[in-house]
Chains A and B, each alone.
Chain A
Amino acid sequence: MTYEGKDLLDLEPEERAREGIFLGFQYPVEIPGVNNAYLLKTAVNAKRKHQGLGEVDAFEFLKLAREKMAALGMDPKFLNRGVNEGFSGGEKKRNEILQMAMLEPKLAILDETDSGLDIDALKAVAEGVNSLRNPDRAIVLVTHYQRLLDYVQPDFVHVLSEGQIVRSGDKSLALELEDKGYDWVREAASA
């Protein structure tokens, strides 16, 4: 599994992160006792160090984190809570997007970020994803449903089945799937 000339499977999880890959978890873990702001800052600094940059200024960091949180509709008090500790499902996913926004990855893989979200959280998460879209950044959204794609218009849609891409297309493929179901692609693939 090669990414920008490096075999990802050879890398430790922290090395992948520092290479600019972000994994958004389906079930972000709660870590009581580890301050959310501390993790964010440490993560940003770990990447900056890897890039040969100095540590981020504490004041600038807080200002930036608060801006990103406001955009995601997150209360700034979440900065001082334990990582995901006592967060609702939607708050956890917003927190993942916040981390992504602060880390500015080159490649983001968001694993079922839409699962368990109410409509407000879904919109906020989608806006967060959209605000990070740019030609130098790839974002892979893993989802079972069209719903998220109403808010994040995909450039490409790939259908994964049994570890293989069985069909690719543009955003209309997702709509077609919503209409016809997955069996249609599976049957077409095995035919």
Chain B
Amino acid sequence: MSRQPHSIDELQDIVSRLPSTRNEDWKYTDLASARDISSRWLAAGRESLSLALQDEVEAVTHAIDANWIVIANGELQHPVDVNGASRLDDAPSSDTALAELNAALLKDGLRLRVEDALDKPIGILMIDGTEDASVSQAYVEIEFAPGASGEIIEYHASKGDADQYANTIVSVAVGDAASARHLRVQNRAAHHVQTGHTSVSVGRDANYTMSGFDLGGGLIRNDVIIDIAAAGAEVSFDGLYLAGEGQHIDNHTRVDHRVGPARSRQEYRGILNGHCRCVWNGKAIVHEGADGTDADQANHNLLLSEKAEIDAKPELEIYTDDVKCSHGTTVGQLDETSLFYLRSRGLDKRHATQVLTHAFASDLVARMPVDAAKEALATVVEHRLAELLDSDPDTFS
């Protein structure tokens, strides 16, 4: 069984329908570069030689002890010998242009089924790197059987100076009384573009914990959609975004509470320096009859430069009475008193700033759900933070 191949014109048509800034959900994020890269790549015959990626693959898979599956430039790297993992021919068709593009151009989909308790995390490394401009798709379906438990790492990386656009879709189904821990790391090369869509359905008395770290990339848009359709669900997710000169990182989240009682909490934090822009839009919808819902969302931003911009928007829609909902958003600079205190102990301004920005991020690093990745991730975050501080020459002048 295989999908109908699309003609170039059909593909160009899908590309032209990718969301524009006229769409309220995409008001701050312009996908012009994604359209441009896709269109050029289609016109050039959809061929681009892969760069050697072995070093980059090993840098990740050796640093984090997990059973790794590698998808390079949209192709599964064999052998995939992870229990419960299999190749998928097709992605489901959907009503958005991004999903259509994904389904139309998908080379290898991946399906993972976690049957009982995983003794080791499963890692999925999606890495891209080509000599000329290219576009890649990834589609991953993860299913936790009722009562199953385990940790999944989703790692996005890329290499090279050529333009890259990656469009990824990850769908997670957490069965009744299952417990899923999900770490998502985006550490793409500068200037690369990614749209990532994560949808999660959470079963009765199930537990879903996620952390997303956006460390690299040029233009990044993440959509996280969580659907709570059974009582007793516990959902907790965090996001950390570090944006330096020239970066644009947009996180859109949506949690649908369809029944209660259930709990969801989210906390996103951003550190921005230089000319960059980040977006956080967190939506929680408590549907009619979802009594006993407890939803909490928080977004905190640290702006180290006057040139940095954050557009933060919490949205609560509540259609029932018996609920507990809260949200809070803060945007601020480093605390001058703390900065002075550290400097009075001999730390120079840059070092003191690094220590304080690190502290701002440290809760989320400490809380991240996959222990096996904690040390490696802490190192990557620290390294990235140091780069970030140096990305704007004005910050310490």
Q: Interface residues, chain A, CB within 8 Å of chain B?
A: 12-14, 16-18, 23, 25, 28-29, 31-34, 38-39, 42-43, 46-47, 50, 82-83, 99, 103
Contact = CB atoms under 8 A, between A and B. Distances in A.
Interface of B: 335, 337-338, 340-349, 351-352, 355-356, 358-360, 362-363
8 contacts: A12-B349, A14-B345, A17-B345, A29-B335, A33-B359, A34-B359, A39-B345, A103-B346
Contact of A31 (B346, B348, B349, B359): B359
A46 B349 CA distance: 12
B337 A29 contact: yes
A34 B344 contact: no
B345 A33 contact: no
Main secondary structure of the interface of B (DSSP, over half): helix
B346 A14 contact: yes
A25 B345 CA distance: 11
A43 B252 CA distance: 41
Given A13-B340, A28-B341, A42 B347 contact: yes
B343 A17 contact: yes
Nearest to A82: B359
Nearest to A40: B345
Contacts of B346: 14, 17-18, 42-43, 46-47, 50, 103
Contacts of B352: 14
Given A31-B356, A32-B359, A14 B343 contact: yes
Nearest to B337: A29
B367 to A, nearest CB: 12
Contact of B349 (A14, A32, A33, A83): A14
Contact of B341 (A18, A25, A33, A47): A25
A141 B204 CA distance: 63
B171 to A, nearest CB: 34
A29 B341 contact: yes
Contacts of B358: 33-34
Contacts of A39: 342, 345, 355
A33 B363 contact: yes
Contacts of A12: 343, 348-349
A39 B337 CA distance: 15
A34 B343 contact: no
A19 to B, nearest CB: 10
A140 to B, nearest CB: 15
Given A28-B341, A29-B341, A31-B338, A46 B347 contact: yes
A14 B341 contact: no
A14 B359 contact: no
A32 B355 CA distance: 11
B338 A17 contact: no
